[in-house]
Structure 1
Amino acid sequence: MTYNLQTSFYFRVSVPGTGSSDAAFQEVSGLSKELGTEEVVCGGENRFKYRLPTIATFQNLVLKRGVTSAESSLISWVKDTLDDGLATAVQTKDIKVQLLDENGDISMSWSFVSAYPVKWSASDLKSQESEVFIETLEFSYQYFEIDDSRESQTDLFS
């Protein structure tokens, strides 16, 4: 039985209402969830504390890419959300990140539900270096789901 390691450099990001070229990112981070714990002291037992599970928490989704001169519906959404304050309702969208294999087929995907932008930042401007100007978009969301095609492959060998 052979196991192929997944590479992390071949991926695709899609956001409804934006063109595919608008979702070309060089880096995605924040693919993390963690189960919180709460410590409870038991009366009369001083040797330890119970560590009980609480709710799952998620990091913000962070997307990085080079800035282009073309108009961007994604950046319009980010700008409208951040600049309008809470004068208008925050528009949420689902964001999908797909990890691709060497043939361009989806091997894993993450669906971020009800995401909305919470931060926009840009790289430093340096006249001594000739680097691409990078913008960073950060999104909060309710939760994410993982669709892992590896699970169906491992069921074959069980």
Structure 2
Amino acid sequence: MAENQDPAVSVCFTVRIDDNDLGWFNTCEGLGLEVVLESREEGGNNGFVWQLPTRIKYGNVKLSRPVGKDSAKLTAWLCSFANGVARQTATICAMTGDRDVVATWNLDGVIPVRWSGPSLNPDTAKVAMETVELAHHGFLPGRAGT
């Protein structure tokens, strides 16, 4: 049977941090990296400036979803940091509408840096959303089963 090559069009994401399944999210922003360059001018060479890579910077990842049953999982995980912060490993899987995994990212040294809950206002009929922001130290190669 042919392997599914469908792109993640109706995207949803599952998030697992170490042994904590945080459930489904419907937006994921900030997956990426930036190579910081240092410019060096060489005496007598006026044709170009050397661009030397110095370090890699990783942006924070923001995950959002409507408040639901999985919100309790996220709250429990966040409460576990009350007695100290320990860096953990996160796995984010992008899935199609049929729940087939099309891409996986493993993040090293994950810590939560911000959580925002819904604005509960009876005057507006909006979906109650929550967002968690995670800092990390970079990407890890894929693990078996992910």
Q: Answer with 88-97 or 4-13: which moved more.
A: 4-13
1:71-92: per-residue Cα shift (whole Å, max 9, x none)? 72422332453xx5xxx43122
1:99: how far off? 2.0
In the TM superposition, structure 1's runs of 4+ consecutive aligned residues that sit over 4 Å from their partners are: 123-127
| Separation (CA, whole Å) in 1 of partners of 2:103 and 2:71 | 30
The structure that is strand-richer by fraction is 2
8 Å CA contact 1:114–1:141 kept in 2: the answer is: yes
Q: How does 1:16-27 map to 2 (within 5 A)?
A: 16-19=18-21, 22-27=22-27
Q: Which position in structure 2 is the counterpart of 1:7?
A: 8
Percent identity between matched residues is: 24
CA separation of 1:145 and 1:16: change in aligned 2, threshold 3 A: closer
Q: Which position in structure 2 is the counterpart of 1:33?
A: 33
RMSD: 3.0
1:44: how far off? 3.3
8 Å CA contact 2:25–2:65 kept in 1: the answer is: yes
* Unaligned stretches of 5+ residues in structure 2: none
SS state at 1:91 partner: coil
Q: Answer with 62-71 or 47-56: which moved more.
A: 62-71
| Separation (CA, whole Å) in 2 of partners of 1:69 and 1:109 | 24
Matched, 1:142 2:137: yes
1:129: how far off? 2.0
CA separation of 1:26 and 1:71: change in aligned 2, threshold 3 A: closer
- Matching residue's letter, 1:24: W
The structure that is helix-richer by fraction is 1
* Unaligned stretches of 5+ residues in structure 1: 148-158
| Separation (CA, whole Å) in 1 of partners of 2:114 and 2:89 | 17
1:121: how far off? 2.1
1:141: how far off? 1.1
1:118: how far off? 0.7
SS state at 2:110 partner: strand
1:54: how far off? 1.8
SS state at 1:72 partner: helix
CA separation of 1:63 and 1:10: change in aligned 2, threshold 3 A: closer
CA separation of 1:71 and 1:124: change in aligned 2, threshold 3 A: closer
SS state at 1:111 partner: strand
With the length of structure 1 as denominator, give the TM-score of the two structures.
0.70
